[in-house]
Copies of this chain bind each other. A is one copy, B any other.
Amino acid sequence: MSPLAKLLEAALFASSAPISRESLAALDSDVTDDEVAGALTELRTQYDESGHGVELIETGGGWQILTRAEFTDAIERAQLASRPARLSAAALETLAIIAYRQPIGRAEVEEIRGVNCGAILKSLHERALIEVTGRAEGMGRPLMYGTTPAFLEQLAIRHLDELPRADELAVALRPAAEA
């Protein structure tokens, strides 16, 4: 492995959260962005081809080393680590709406889900999956919510645009709905 790949590996191992490309580049002032990208590829390949128990993934605006899914059960059985609780349908629906419509106010989320969403919004906010991004103009100036980088991490995706576009969904909204 190249010295840079080793340095990146050390930094990624030392962190439980993803590290941004900029922070990785800042590890060594002499390297270019291309060299960092190359070293990340080298590290990923090393993990994949030498058959490691961990893998390198890009998520939530950064890079992170995670264990491979095949070992999860054994690790959990041995009580060395445990998986976070699964999100309920209500939480996922609320997240789905906020992810696609952000910034969006509580009233609009409730209109789409057809139920009161106060408790769910609170839980999502406490888990830092959503945040208050500001307030809308107009009547009552309601608070607006958006998703956070932790939301992307929760899904292990790099960016919101990795989710299917609204017009790619099987049930496309008819234009009338855009009122």
Residues of A within 8 A of B (CB): 1, 5-11, 13-16, 19-20, 22-23, 26-28, 46, 50-54, 65, 67-68, 71-72, 74-75, 77-82, 106, 118-119, 121-122, 125, 132, 134-135, 141, 143, 157, 162, 164, 168-169, 171-176, 178
Extra contacts besides A19-B80, A26-B81, A132-B164 (17): CB < 8 Å: A1-B51, A6-B53, A8-B53, A10-B68, A11-B67, A13-B53, A13-B65, A14-B67, A14-B80, A14-B81, A15-B75, A27-B75, A118-B176, A119-B175, A122-B174, A132-B169, A132-B172
Q: Does A79 lie within 8 Å of B23, measured CB to CB?
A: yes
Docked CA distance A175–B85 (Å): 22
Q: Does A10 lie within 8 Å of B75, measured CB to CB?
A: yes
Docked CA distance A75–B129 (Å): 28
Q: Does A9 lie within 8 Å of B172, measured CB to CB?
A: no
Q: Does B164 lie within 8 Å of A71, measured CB to CB?
A: no
Q: Does A164 lie within 8 Å of B176, measured CB to CB?
A: no
Q: Does B178 lie within 8 Å of A27, measured CB to CB?
A: no
Instruction: List 5 A–B pairs whose Cβ atoms lie within 8 Å, in order of A's numbering.
Output: A1-B52, A6-B52, A7-B74, A121-B175, A134-B157
Q: Please give the distance in Å from A90's CB to the nearest CB on chain B.
A: 14
